[in-house]
Amino acid sequence: MSLAPADFPTAYRITDPVDPYEIASGPFYEPLEPAGDPRVVLLVEEKHCNSGGVTHGGLLMTMADLTLCAAAREGLPDERAITVQLDAQFISAGEVGDFLIARAEIVRRGGKLIFVRGQIMAGERILLTASAVTRRVKRNRED
């Protein structure tokens, strides 16, 4: 089991506190002080697991999508990143009590599309690797 750091959750904030799906499925957190890489974290609870007692694959896909889009938006405050393709490989299973860390990086940023890749880890275990293509979209004033 990978334990949460001593400063969790006080040194973190909910990634998107107005997104009902992310709140219901997570909530997912990001550090208050960025460590230089886009990352999203989650402390696995029973509600995050499937009937087999391991972290649900849909939860991992949601976490990957959230993290990959966050990386794609890095440095683009007036834009959103819309996922147009998401590929993932399930490597290992997480369990209740695991502290998951998802990280991502930009592979290429074009005029309309951004290519990103990342992984979700529990301690030294890789649970999922993923890559995505996102589309750049201007934010609405309401966003």
The CATH number that applies at residue 60 is: 3.10.129.10
Q: Which helix (H) or strand (E) holds 25?
A: helix 20-25
Domain range for 80: 12-138
Residue 38: pLDDT band by 50, 70, 90 thresholds?
Answer: low
Of the pLDDT bands very low, low, confident and very high (cuts 50, 70, 90), residue 36 is low
Residue 80 lies in a domain: yes
Q: What is the count of structural domains for the chain? A: 1
Question: What is the residue-averaged pLDDT of the chain?
Answer: 91
How many whole angstroms separate alpha carbon 116 and alpha carbon 114? 6
Tens-place pLDDT, residues 95-130:
999 999 999 999 999 999 999 999 999 999 999 999
Give a yes or no: residue 42 inside a domain: yes
Judge whether 143 lies within some domain. Answer: no
Question: Is pTM, for the whole model, over 0.85?
Answer: yes
For residue 67, tell me if it sits in a domain.
Answer: yes
